[in-house]
Structure 1
Amino acid sequence: MSIYLVNGIKLQGTIESFDQFVILLKNTVSQMVYKHAISTVVPVRPIRLPSATESEAGDAEPGNA
């Protein structure tokens, strides 16, 4: 994951944890980054989001009330 800050700095690593205000980014060291300082987040590989039809079909399966 690449995270670009509002001042142009690029940080790379994996998101280890997060809360309402900060993201903990882990690479060789862990860095706490305030969310208000983040401009852009770029994943390493494409993220697959389920479409609305897939989520509706999942609700129709038995046991999904």
Structure 2
Amino acid sequence: IKLQGQVDSFDQFVVLLKNSVNQMVYKHAISTIVPSRNVRLPLPDDEDGDSDD
């Protein structure tokens, strides 16, 4: 089953997925998460988050 939406919140056991409705999904039932757009992660030595220098 493919679920789509935005992670609204989470705790130790579940993730709340927000779309047209809210869905509670147990973490042990999740096998893969694919972001809908690129995710920028700052590097440890990158203070301003922009590595285009």
Q: Which has the larger radius of gyration?
A: 1
1:34-64 CA distances to partner (integer Å, 9 max, x unpaired)? 000000001111101111221xx57xxxxxx
Q: Give the structure-1-normalised TM-score.
A: 0.67
Aligned to 1:39: 31
Identity %: 67
Deviation of 1:27 (Å): 0.8
Which structure has more relative contact order (CA 8 Å, sep 6+)? It is 1
Unaligned residue ranges in structure 2 (runs of 5+) = 49-53
More strand by share: 1
Tell me whether 1:27 sits opposite 2:23 in the alignment: no
Unaligned residue ranges in structure 1 (runs of 5+) = 1-8, 59-65
More helix by share: 1
Aligned to 1:48: 40
Q: Give the structure-2-normalised TM-score.
A: 0.81
Aligned to 2:9: 17
> How many correspondences in the alignment?
48
Letter in 2 for 1:29: V
1:4-61 CA distances to partner (integer Å, 9 max, x unpaired)? xxxxx1100111111010000011111000000000001111101111221xx57xxx
